[in-house]
Amino acid sequence: MRRALCLVVALAGCSAPDAVHRITVSTSHAAPGGTLENGRMLEGTAMEIAVAAYTEETTFHDSRRVSRPIEITAGPPERLRVIKGAAPELFILLAASPGPSTLDVRVEGVSAHRDLMIEAQPP
């Protein structure tokens, strides 16, 4: 019944109601002098980030947060690493050395990209 409904919706030109509609990547615990939002981190510091995925419920016209497999990569690896955190949606960024770096997150075909400048420790 549900599949039939999806098929009808898809044929009508709409996305399936349980497909990931958008994702957010945000700082859940800031590093000293840096956040994902300001695009900065200090070398040698750590920062916890959270990824959230949402589906669009066409019935109620709102977004709903869901748990889906998250693909996350950071690099270059000698500069920025990402390691799983204490929950599936949490990740820890580890900044190793100064320079530009990137973070890419993908959840069911929806992706997000962030640029991070890793700065040297002040003298």
Q: Choose which of 50, 94, 110, 112 interacts with other proteins (CB under 8 A).
A: 94
Q: How many C-beta atoms lie closer than 10 Å to residue 81's C-beta?
A: 16
Q: Which residues, at least 6 apart from 59, have a Cβ–Cβ distance to it below 8 Å?
A: 17
Nearest-approach distance from CB 4 to other proteins, in angstroms: 41
Q: Is 42 in the site for other proteins (CB under 8 A)?
A: yes
Q: Is 77 in the site for other proteins (CB under 8 A)?
A: no
Helix (H) or strand (E) holding 9: helix 2-11
The answer to whether the beta carbons of residues 35 and 118 sit under 8 Å apart is no
Binding residue count for other proteins, defined by CB under 8 A? 22
Q: Is 101 in the site for other proteins (CB under 8 A)?
A: no
Q: Choose which of 23, 36, 45, 68 interacts with other proteins (CB under 8 A).
A: 45
Nearest-approach distance from CB 66 to other proteins, in angstroms: 22
* Closest by Cα among 60, 80, 81, 73 to 107: 73
DSSP 104: E
Query: Which residues bind to other proteins, rule: CB under 8 A?
Result: 29, 31-32, 42-46, 48, 81, 83-86, 92, 94-97, 121-123
